[in-house]
Structure 1
Amino acid sequence: MDNIVRNDAWLIGGDFNVIFNMEETSNAVNSGIIPDISDFQRCVEELRILDHQFMGPLFTWSNKQQDTYLACKLDRVLINSSWIEAFPSSVVEFQAPGDLDHCPSLVWLHKGVPIAKPKPFKFFNFWVLYHSFMSIVEESWQSSVGGNLAQVLFLKLKRLKSYLKELNMTHFHDISGQVQKKRDDLLCIQLFNLNDTAAGSFIKDELEVE
C-alpha cells in the first residue's frame, strides 16, 4: 500500500459494516463479531490511518426497532498523516439520516461561514386542483411588464411565483412549511437517538414522525 499511496494525502470513508471498539455500539457486543472487530483494527493499524475528528452523533446507523433498539458506528472517515498536513482545517460532519439508513458524512477541506442562499421554489401538483388555479395564473400572466422577451419572461415568472406562494399560504395552510417543520423535527429526533448518551430514548417519537 505504501507503494501506491506514498506520501500523498489519503482519505477513505463510508460504511465499513463493523465497529472499531466496544464503545461504538449501544448494546453489549456479541462475541461472534469480535474477530471482525480485531481484523478491522489490524487493517487500520497496518495502513497507518486514523479516524478524522468529526461533528455529529457517535452512532451512524440504527435498526429503528422500538423493543430491541440497536445503534452502532458503522460509518467513518479515515485519513493518513499526510492528509492532516495537507488539509489541517478539514472538517467532517455526520448528519441525521433522514430518509437514509445511515448518517451521511460530509467532508470540507475548509468550512467557512455559511452563506445564506435563496430557498428554491417548489411547485405542488395539488395546486392545479384548486378551483381558481387557472384564474390566478391568468391574472398574474396577463398583466403587462416592460423589457425584452427574456426580461418579460423572467418578470412574469417571478410575479407568478408570488401569486402561487400566496395561494399556498391562504388555501393550503402553507403545506410546504408544514412539511419542512416535520422534516426538521425528524432530523432533530434522529440525532438525539443516535447520541451515545441517550441512544434510542426517543425511538417511538422518531417512528411516529416517519
Structure 2
Amino acid sequence: MLVCFWNVRGINNPLKKFKVLRRLVTLEADVVCLLETRIRRINAGKFISVFSNDWNMVENYESIDGGRIWVLWKKQWSFTVFRVSDQSLTIGGSVNSHRTLITAVYGSNSRTSRRGLWDQLKYMESEVGSSLWVVGGDFNVILRAEESSDFETLGVYNSPDIEDFQGCLEDLDLLDYPFLGLSFTWTNKKDVGFLARKLDRILVNPVWFSVFPYSFAEFKAQGVFDHCLGVIWTQRGALARRPKPFKIFKYWTSSEDFLSIVKVLYSDISKRVLCKRAELEMIQLRNLSHADLRNIDEERTVHVWWIWRLQNLIFIDRGQRTENGQFLDSFYDMAAELVYFFTNLIGIADPLVRCHSVVDLRGFLNFSLAAGAEDMLTRKVDDKEIKDALFRQGNGKSPGPDGYSSWFFSVAWEVVGTDFLAAGMNIVDNTLLAQEIVKGYSKSLSSRCAIKFDLKKAFDFVNWEFFMDVLEAMGLPLKFCSWIKACVIPPNFQSP
C-alpha cells in the first residue's frame, strides 16, 4: 500500500490539477491525502470527477469553513471514516490483516489554534490502542531549530510553538519515519529573502515498525507547489529491505522483563567488549601462526560481535586529488600538497603586527569573573554532574547516533550507569571500524562512497598568541588557560 500526503495550495489552477493527477497515477497511490485544497465545496465534485469511480472520498468541510483536507482511497481498501475535525482527518481499516489508522494533518498557522490539533491527536492516541497508526501532512511548525534554512543565522533556539510540538510527540510516542529526499519540505520560492523549512512530516507509532519492518518513506520534489509530496510504502521491494536505524521505544520499558533483559545484554558491557577484543586478537594470532589449525569461522563470529558493539561512524578518504586533477597516492606527495594548500589558505603572520599587553587588554575588556567562577572552571567533572546533564534531556532525545534515548538510560541506570560514565573509544578502534565499513561497501546492493568534509572556519585564522592574552586578561584561571592552550596550539589538534 502507498499513502501520499501533499499540500496542494493553488490546485484551482487547471494546469496544476492535471499535474497532480498525472503524478498520483504514476505513483500508483492507494490513499491520497490532499491538504490546503482551498476549493469551494460546490466545485469539489468537478475535481473529484477526474478520478474514476474506483475511489472513495471524505473531506472536512463540515468542520471548518472552506474545508482544508481531502482523503481519497481506492475502493479495494476497506477503510471507513474514523474521525473528522478542523485540522485532522482519520480513516481506519484493515491492511494486511492489521487494523490501521491513517491521519491526515493540516495544522493552523496560529499557535493558539494549533493547540487544538495537539488535542485532536492526543484524543486519537487514546483510541488507537494496539492498531498501526501513521500521521502525515503539513504541521505548519518545525520540530527543531535546524529544520529551518535560517538556522545558521539564528542558531539553536526553542520557541513555544516548537516546545508544544515536541511535547505532543513525546506524549504520543510518535516517531519521525526515516526518509529519503529533501530535508526542507517547504520553500517560499523567493530569490530575495529565501526561506525553507521542514513543515511536512510522516510520523508512525512503534507498532508500525514491528508490522512493516520493510516500509519506506520519501519526500519528493515540490513540482508546481511550494510543499514536497510525502509518500510512505508499507513495503517497497529491494529498497525496503535495507536495515532500519535502531531506536529504543518508550513502551518497551513498561515490560516486566525489561530490566532483566537489559542486565543480560548490557551488564559490564565495557569489560565484555575489551575481553572480546582480546579474544579476537588471540584467534587472529593463532590463525596467522598455525595455518593448519586455522579457524576462519570462529574469527569471523568474534569479529562481527566486536564490530557490532562499536557505535561510531567514521569517514575516511583514500588518496587525494589536487586542484588540477592530479591524483596523489604517496605519503610524501600528499604531505607536500597539504603544506602548499594550507600555506596559501591561511597565509603567513604579519611580523609588523604587535599584540597589546595583558594590562592594556584588561582596560579594553573591562571584564571580571563572577564570584566562584574560578573554582567552577577548574574543578573535576564528577559522575553526578554527567548524570544530571543526561537526565535533563527530553525523554525522546538521543545522546548519540546509536538510537538509545535518555529515557533508556534513566530507566536502566542501575545496569548501564557505570559503563555510561566510563564510556570512551580508542582512536585506533575508530580507524579499524572505518576500514570495516568501507570494506563492506562492495557487498551492498547499490553504489556508494565515503566522504570526509573539512570546512574552512574562522578558527583557521586566529592569532593564538593574542587569543591566550585575551583569556588571561579576562581573569580566567591559569590552569584553565593551559587546558585551552593544549587543545588549540598543537598542530595535531582538530577543531570540532
TM-score by length of 2: 0.22
1:42-80 deviation line (CA, Å, top 9, x unaligned):
000011111000000100000111111100000000011
Aligned residue among 182, 185, 188 for 1:63: 188
Give the Cα–Cα distance (whole angstroms) in 1 for the partners of residues 238 and 207 of structure 2. Answer: 26
Structure 2 counterpart of 1:63, which letter?
N
Structure 2 counterpart of 1:64, which letter?
K
2:133 alignment partner in structure 1: 10
Give the Cα–Cα distance (whole angstroms) in 2 for the partners of residues 3 and 33 of structure 1. Answer: 28
The count of residues paired between Structure 1 and Structure 2 equals 114
Alignment of 1:125-204 (within 5 A): none
User: How has the CA–CA distance of structure 1 residues 59 and 23 changed in structure 2, closer, same or farther, with 3 Å as cutoff?
Assistant: same
1:25 alignment partner in structure 2: 148
State the Cα distance separating 1:9 from its structure 2 match.
Answer: 1.0
User: How has the CA–CA distance of structure 1 residues 89 and 23 changed in structure 2, closer, same or farther, with 3 Å as cutoff?
Assistant: same
User: How has the CA–CA distance of structure 1 residues 46 and 67 changed in structure 2, closer, same or farther, with 3 Å as cutoff?
Assistant: same
1:86 alignment partner in structure 2: 211
Q: CA RMSD in A?
A: 2.3
SS of 1:77's equivalent in the other structure is strand
State the Cα distance separating 1:112 from its structure 2 match.
Answer: 2.0
SS of 2:237's equivalent in the other structure is coil
1:104 alignment partner in structure 2: 229
Contact between 2:216 and 2:236, CA under 8 Å: does it hold in 1?
yes
Give the Cα–Cα distance (whole angstroms) in 1 for the partners of residues 225 and 210 of structure 2. Answer: 33
2:65 alignment partner in structure 1: none
Structure 1 counterpart of 2:131, which letter?
D
Give the Cα–Cα distance (whole angstroms) in 2 for the partners of residues 23 and 8 of structure 1. Answer: 32
1:130-153 deviation line (CA, Å, top 9, x unaligned):
xxxxxxxxxxxxxxxxxxxxxxxx
Give the Cα–Cα distance (whole angstroms) in 1 for the partners of residues 237 and 156 of structure 2. Answer: 44
User: How has the CA–CA distance of structure 1 residues 58 and 21 changed in structure 2, closer, same or farther, with 3 Å as cutoff?
Assistant: same
**Of 1-10 and 93-102, the range deviating more from structure 2:** 1-10
Higher Rg? 2
2:163 alignment partner in structure 1: 38
1:8-37 deviation line (CA, Å, top 9, x unaligned):
111000000000001101004599981101
User: How has the CA–CA distance of structure 1 residues 81 and 32 changed in structure 2, closer, same or farther, with 3 Å as cutoff?
Assistant: closer
Structure 2 counterpart of 1:9, which letter?
L
Q: In percent, how many aligned pairs have the same letter? A: 45
By relative contact order (CA 8 Å, sep 6+), the higher-ranking structure is 1
Displaced runs of 4 or more, over 4 A: 29-33
1:49 alignment partner in structure 2: 174
Structure 1 counterpart of 2:136, which letter?
G
Structure 2 counterpart of 1:23, which letter?
E
Structure 1 counterpart of 2:132, which letter?
A
2:197 alignment partner in structure 1: 72
SS of 2:164's equivalent in the other structure is helix
Give the Cα–Cα distance (whole angstroms) in 2 for the partners of residues 30 and 24 of structure 1. Answer: 11
TM-score by length of 1: 0.51
SS of 1:10's equivalent in the other structure is strand
Contact between 2:145 and 2:157, CA under 8 Å: does it hold in 1?
no
Structure 2 counterpart of 1:40, which letter?
F
Aligned residue among 198, 220, 238 for 1:95: 220
State the Cα distance separating 1:3 from its structure 2 match.
Answer: 3.4
Structure 2 counterpart of 1:60, which letter?
T
SS of 2:228's equivalent in the other structure is coil
Structure 2 counterpart of 1:91, which letter?
F
Give the Cα–Cα distance (whole angstroms) in 1 for the partners of residues 202 and 147 of structure 2. Answer: 14
Give the Cα–Cα distance (whole angstroms) in 1 for the partners of residues 182 and 207 of structure 2. Answer: 26
Give the Cα–Cα distance (whole angstroms) in 2 for the partners of residues 62 and 106 of structure 1. Answer: 18
User: How has the CA–CA distance of structure 1 residues 38 and 112 changed in structure 2, closer, same or farther, with 3 Å as cutoff?
Assistant: same
Give the Cα–Cα distance (whole angstroms) in 2 for the partners of residues 104 and 89 of structure 1. Answer: 20
Structure 2 counterpart of 1:102, which letter?
H
Structure 2 unaligned blocks of 5 or more: 1-122, 240-496
